[in-house]
């Protein structure tokens, strides 16, 4: 009996590791019981154990599902476009300005460029269903995007499509701040309204810095949400 339930456990662990994405349904208890020659009760115990370990979760009446991997999944590297779509909102950017400028000391340091090297600077008011949510100033090494960028839509989608560049990791800091009059006007809120200032340096697979961005989020429309776990 112990041998069989250990086999079932191994089988499920392998399935969770290689076969199932988070939130995919596990095979039903009944078919696991048949396949492994175990009672439903024993199958349930094996699943209970996996549930206690946080590897699966149960939904009464519909089955057992693969859990989310625990490694900081909640702080995923996403784009504005993805964030808005996930909330059922229509992402947009208006207005958009682009300039080629010398990197300067801070941006150059973050992007590992000399201060005189050129960067493409994008300034975008990011909107959700047409409402301004965030003011974003992004710098990219000009040498990485030699043919320019079409910026009607998502910067990250365009970087992937046109240059095969995918930001994989980012260092990010979040500060509280207030909006100066110009930034407040761009976001259509009162001057000196509170905001979050998020600075991101994003790196690709090879560890090259590909973006240095500053995003100013309206304090009345944003919250930083983290899922945290006890080890
Ligand atoms: C997010 C990123 C920003 C990136 C942008 C791309 C943060 C703090 N910042 O706003 O660095 O440039 O997404 O969005 O999340 P896009 O692909 O929709 O243009």
Q: Is the CB of 201 under 6 A from ligand 1?
A: no
Instruction: In whole angstroms, give the CA distance from residue 48 to residue 64.
Output: 10
Residue nearest to atom 10 of ligand 1 (CA): 80
Tell me how crowded residue 125 is: count the other CB atoms within 10 A of its CB.
20
| Cβ partners under 8 Å of residue 95, min gap 6 | 124, 125
Ligand 1 geometric centre to CA of 134 (Å): 10
Out of 78, 155, 203, mutate this one to test ligand 1's pocket (max ligand atoms within 8 Å of CB): namely: 155
Q: How far is CA 39 from CA 11, 16, 32, 206, in A?
A: 16, 22, 9, 50
Atom of ligand 1 nearest to the CA of 200: 11
Per-residue pLDDT in tens (0 to 9) along the chain, 231 residues: 568 889 999 999 999 988 898 889 999 999 999 999 999 999 999 999 888 777 888 888 889 999 865 432 236 789 999 988 888 889 999 888 999 999 999 999 999 999 999 999 999 999 988 999 999 999 999 999 999 888 889 999 999 999 999 999 999 999 999 999 999 999 999 999 999 999 999 998 878 999 999 999 998 888 777 777 777
Instruction: In whole angstroms, give the CA distance from residue 190 to residue 192.
Output: 6
Helix (H) / strand (E) element for 220: namely none
Distance from chain centroid for Cα 219: 20
Ligand 1 geometric centre to CA of 19 (Å): 31
Instruction: In whole angstroms, give the CA distance from residue 66 to residue 54.
Output: 9
Helix (H) / strand (E) element for 106: namely helix 104-111
Instruction: In whole angstroms, give the CA distance from residue 140 to residue 120.
Output: 5
Ligand 1 geometric centre to CA of 182 (Å): 21
- Residue carrying the six token digits 């046109």: 162
Cβ atoms of 30 and 38 within 8 Å: the answer is no
Q: Is the CB of 156 under 6 A from ligand 1?
A: yes
Residue nearest to atom 15 of ligand 1 (CA): 79
Q: How far is CA 144 from CA 111, 119, 160, 210, in A?
A: 11, 9, 12, 8
Output the DSSP codes for 28-79: PHHHHHHHHT--HHHHHHHHHHHHHTTSEEEETTTEEEE---SSSGGG----
């Amino acid at each position: 009996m112990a041998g069989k339930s250990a086999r079932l456990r191994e089988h499920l662990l392998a399935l969770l590791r290689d076969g199932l994405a988070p939130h995919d349904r596990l095979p039903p208890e009944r078919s696991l019981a048949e396949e492994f020659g175990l009672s439903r009760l024993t199958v349930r115990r094996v699943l209970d154990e996996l549930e206690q370990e946080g590897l699966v979760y149960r939904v009464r009446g519909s089955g057992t599902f693969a859990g989310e991997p625990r490694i900081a999944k909640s702080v995923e590297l996403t784009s504005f476009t993805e964030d808005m779509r996930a909330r059922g909102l229509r992402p947009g950017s208006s207005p958009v300005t682009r300039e080629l400028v010398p990197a300067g000391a801070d941006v150059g340091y973050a992007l590992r460029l000399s201060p005189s090297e050129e960067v493409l600077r994008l300034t975008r008011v990011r909107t959700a269903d047409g409402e301004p949510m965030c003011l974003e100033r992004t710098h990219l090494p000009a040498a990485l995007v030699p043919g320019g960028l079409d910026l009607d839509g998502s910067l990250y989608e365009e970087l992937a499509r046109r240059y095969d560049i995918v930001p994989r990791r980012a260092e990010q800091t979040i500060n509280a701040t207030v909006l100066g009059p110009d930034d407040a006007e761009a976001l259509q809120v009162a001057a000196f309204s509170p905001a979050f200032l998020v600075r991101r340096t994003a790196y690709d697979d090879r560890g090259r810095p590909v973006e240095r961005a500053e995003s100013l989020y309206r304090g009345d429309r944003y919250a930083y949400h983290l899922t945290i776990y006890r080890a």
